[in-house]
A and B are shown apart, each in its own frame.
Chain A
Amino acid sequence: MSEMLKTSGLTKNFGGLTAVNNVNFSIEEGDLQSIIGPNGAGKSTFFKLISGEIKPSSGQIVFNGNDITGLAQTQVSHRGIAVAYQITNIFPLLTVLENVRVAAQSRKTTFNFWSKAESHHEITDQALAILEEIGLVEFKEDIAGNLSHGDQKRLEIGIALATQPELLLLDEPTAGLSPTETRYTIELIKKISDHLTIILVEHKMTVVMEVSDKITVLHYGSLLAQGSPDDIRNNEEVRRVYLGGVKV
Chain B
Amino acid sequence: MQTQQAEVGAGAPGGAWDRVVDLVSRYPVTVITIFFIIFPFVVPYKALATQIIIWGLFALGYNVCLGYTGMLSFGHAAYFGVGAYTLGIVLIRLWENLWFGLACATFMGAFTALILGFMCIKRKGIYFALLTLAFAQLLYFLAFQWVDLTGGDNGLRHIPAVPLPLPGFTVDIQDPLRFYFLVLFFVVLALMLLQRVLQSPFGRVLEAVRENDPRARSCGYETTNVRWMAFIISGAISGLAGGLYALYLHFVGIETLYWVTSGQILMITLLGGMGSFIGPFIGAGVFLFLEDVLSAITDNWMIFLGTIFILCVLFFPEGIWGSVMKLVNRSAGKKG
Binding site for B on A (CB under 8 A): 51, 53, 73-74, 77-78, 82-83, 85, 89-94, 98, 101-103, 105-118, 120, 159, 162-163
Contact = CB atoms under 8 A, between A and B. Distances in A.
Given A94-B207, A98-B204, A112-B202, A106 B221 contact: yes
B89 interface: no
Contact of B217 (A74, A82, A91, A94): A74
A112 B215 contact: no
Contacts of A94: 207-208, 211
A77 B203 contact: no
B227 to A, nearest CB: 12
A118 B198 CA distance: 12
B317 to A, nearest CB: 16
With most chain A CB atoms within 10 A of its CB, the pick from B205, B215, B220, B229 is B220
B226 A114 contact: no
Given A91-B207, A91-B211, A105-B205, A112 B219 contact: no
Interface string B203-238: 111011001101111111110011001000000000
Given A90-B215, A92-B211, A117 B220 contact: no
Secondary structure at the A interface, as helix, strand, loop or mixed, is loop
A88 B216 CA distance: 14
Contacts of B204: 98, 101-102, 105, 117
Given A91-B208, A91-B211, A92-B211, A113 B196 contact: yes
Nearest to B202: A113
A120 to B, nearest CB: 7
Contact of B200 (A74, A91, A114): A114
25 contacts: A51-B218, A53-B218, A73-B218, A74-B217, A74-B220, A74-B221, A85-B215, A91-B211, A91-B212, A92-B211, A98-B204, A102-B208, A102-B216, A105-B204, A106-B219, A106-B221, A107-B220, A110-B201, A110-B202, A110-B225, A111-B225, A112-B201, A114-B196, A117-B200, A163-B219
